[in-house]
Amino acid sequence: DGGITQSPKYLFRKEGQNVTLSCEQNLNHDAMYWYRQDPGQGLRLIYYSQIVNDFQKGDIAEGYSVSREKKESFPLTVTSAQKNPTAFYLCASSKTIGTDTQYFGPGTRLTVL
């Protein structure tokens, strides 16, 4: 059963902590993405990766970091430098970068305490 999984579903962070959100896909897709969604807002691109060991900053990369050591995995770290991290985080993948359809995981809701 192919798809994208994200964990955890809910995450609570204290001030000054770094937290890591997991994203795994078994669709054999080359490209993966991280988005942030705030209430009533559209999706904003944080980072994307075209291929293993390569990733690029999106529109709102400050305070975030990623790695792409395996094709299936694209974890996102929300660092303490991100001043307003409370949001819904969505991971997506597509066969290739650019024009291909993106498929989304179920999301992680991060709340800062």
Q: What does the binding site for other proteins look like in residue numbers (CB under 8 A)?
A: 35, 40-43, 45, 48, 50, 56, 58, 90, 97-107
Token readout for 66 is 């990623």
Residue number with CB closer to other proteins (47 or 72): 47
Determine contact, residues 91/6, Cβ cutoff 8 Å: yes
Residue number with CB closer to other proteins (38 or 69): 38
Residue number with CB closer to other proteins (18 or 41): 41
Q: How far is the CB of 97 from other proteins (least distance, A)?
A: 5
